[in-house]
Amino acid sequence: MTKPAITEPFENLHDQILDAVGEEGVVAAPADMARYLAEERGRFVGRAAFVVRPASTAEVAEVVKLCAAAGVGVVPQGGNTSLVGGSIPFEEGDEIVLSLERMTRIRELDADNFTITVEAGVILQQVQEAAAAADRLFPLSLGAEGSCRIGGNIASNAGGVQVLRYGNMRDLVLGLEVVLPDGRIWDGLRALRKDNTGYDLKQLFVGSEGTLGVVTAAVLKLYARPREVVTAFVAVPDPAAALALLGRLRAASGESVTSFELIPRLILEFALRHIEGCRDPLSAPQPWYLLVELFGGREDGGLREALEEALAAAYEDGTVLDAALAESETQRRAFWQLRENLTEAQKFEGGSIKHDVSVPVSAVPAFLKEAEAKCRELVPGCRPVPFGHLGDGNIHFNVSQPEGGGAAEREAFLAGWDAMNRAVHDIVHRHRGSISAEHGIGRLKLAENARFKSPVELDLMRAVKQALDPHGIMNRGKVL
């Protein structure tokens, strides 16, 4: 391999790491490093001395030890689908990216214990497929599941479209193996549902966004694979009606509601306009939609009837305007394709200012009303397209720039990102909500997080960081 132009203090480190992980384990040519240094939304582009791709926990530990000795920062990376700039280094170029993409072993699946033990680099979809092959369900599901990796899901405490029933990653982890910032390996790979022997250390690393250590493997919970899946695309007049339907369905189905996704008409139009193969499931345009899915334990277990009855009753009282039930897996997939492409569809409509927020579910209608009014006051003509996980109060309150306009208008609109974030987050705060429901803080939300976190909470987080990473080499400048 031609020796890349790696300058001190990285030259020596580069050679040491090359010895530890071999040629396969180091990427140093700028063209080959590019994909590790750009992030999903193109807001940040980082620089790194080089990228390391260890193939085992022992190699990860060796690499971290060498970086700690050299005082060089480490940015752990999984699928690099982070939406807050957490997975790429800063522009200074004085960190290395440590990609877990070569650690893709499924170490064990214990169907009787309803657990699966996987390495950090296993892609989420692969875990879902391995579980299904054993007649089990691994319930984490999100738009990036084809490329995000389990280590990243854990470090970002990923949420997605089934949190309402199965919780987020924090609720799905039973045990972790972690390489600590000093290079020691913590083997916490226990497959127990009960273990009351001191602090629950694994939970420190869930959601830590790579700032406390490198997750190298995990024991994850599995669930029974559903025998009945009922999916509907439902039109409602407004978010308050959506909320009423949620309560009705949860009651009518004995907590079988698995997904409850809110979609406003405008963003559906974005998808119909720009995404190949997307079709409106209903015959006439409606103001708001819900993608609803229920899982049951028995074929024809009556879930479909329960849903139809609840929809019919809601139709009678005007809280439902129309609905289509999926009659086939193909139709079900078509409904989900609409939902999963909302992220992509926004890219074709100019600049989009993002908010990943949560409020108590009952506060969503009031929050939406206040936040929409505020944004229109700030930027007349802007187009709020609030969508997402209504079932857990998590709304992606994204706002597209006013219709039309070119690059200049896009720039001007995006220049208002921080001001709009502050305005929307103030409203979230008034509703005792969170300014980052599922995507984390990364580098994007540092200032906003510091604005709302109490001094006590920030002190506690700094104390944990100081205890585990006293030399501050893990994912510098992220989260805190």
Residue nearest ligand MLT, Cβ-based: 343
Q: Is the dihedral of CA 60, 53, 78, 35 positive or negative?
A: positive
Residue 183 sits in the site that holds ligand MLT (CB under 6 A): no
3 state DSSP class of 298: coil
Q: Which of 213, 350, 386, 388 binds ligand MLT (CB under 6 A)?
A: 388
> How many residues does this entry show for the chain?
480
3 state DSSP class of 299: coil
Q: Which of 221, 396, 425, 443 binds ligand MLT (CB under 6 A)?
A: 396
Q: Which does 86 bind (CB under 5 to 8 A by kind): ligand MLT, ligand FAD, none?
A: ligand FAD
Q: Which does 396 bind (CB under 5 to 8 A by kind): ligand FAD, ligand MLT, none?
A: ligand MLT
Residue 219 host element (H or E): strand 214-221
Compute how many residues bind ligand FAD; rule: CB under 6 A. Answer: 37
State the binding string over 449-478 for ligand FAD (x if CB under 6 A, else -).
--------------------------x--x
> Please, what is the Cα angle at 163 between 162 and 169, to 5 degrees?
110
Could you tell me the maximum CA-CA distance found in the chain, to the nearest angstrom? 74
In this complex, which beta carbon is closest to ligand FAD, that of residue 217 or of residue 420? 217
Taking CB under 6 A as the criterion, which residues in 273-312 touch ligand FAD?
A: none
We find the least distance from the C-beta atom of residue 470 to ligand FAD, in angstroms, to be 18
Taking CB under 6 A as the criterion, which residues in 329-348 touch ligand MLT?
A: 342-343
State the binding string over 160-179 for ligand FAD (x if CB under 6 A, else -).
x-------------------
Using CB atoms within 10 A of its CB, is residue 310 exposed (0-12), middle (13-18) or buried (19+)?
Answer: buried
Centroid of chain to Cα 407: 29
Report the alpha-carbon distance of residue 272 to residue 261 in Å, rounded: 17
Report the alpha-carbon distance of residue 9 to residue 24 in Å, rounded: 22
Helices marked H in 71-218 — which ranges? 124-133, 150-155, 163-166, 169-172, 202-205
Stretch that binds ligand FAD, among 255-263, 285-293, 327-335, 438-446 (CB under 6 A): 438-446
CB neighbourhood size of 221 (10 A): 21
Residue 143 sits in the site that holds ligand MLT (CB under 6 A): yes
Residue 259 sits in the site that holds ligand MLT (CB under 6 A): no
Binding site for ligand FAD (CB under 6 A): 40, 75-83, 86-87, 100, 120, 142-144, 148-149, 151-153, 155-156, 158-160, 209-210, 214-215, 343, 438-439, 442, 475, 478
Binding site for ligand MLT (CB under 6 A): 83, 143, 342-343, 354, 388, 396
